[in-house]
Amino acid sequence: MTSHIKSELSLLSELFLSILLTACIAIYLYKTFETFPWLPFIGIPIGLAIMVACWERKKHSWSMFITGLIVSSIVWSIVFNWSSLLGIFH
């Protein structure tokens, strides 16, 4: 396997890990609380992204993981709060 293929697989695995992690946290919060706590849900992945960014001193080593965490947390927050968002606009 060439180094290019290994780096591409690493980027994909980081992206899938971030999506899976935020999905698991979102489902847990959705099943545990009566109303979905969207602010803590967005705060958990952002805090984890900051910790990973500070922990890894290399500039672009975990960029796909951090981006995936932030984007998927925003998307999952919209998905699980869709009914309350529609209630705001009426």
Q: How confident is the model at residue 60 (pLDDT cuts 50, 70, 90)?
A: low
pLDDT of residue 64: 84
Sign, CA torsion 27/53/55/14: positive
Q: Work out the percent of the chain whose per-residue pLDDT is above 70.
A: 90
24-45 per-position pLDDT tens digit: 999 999 899 888 888 888 899 8
What is the reported pTM? 0.78
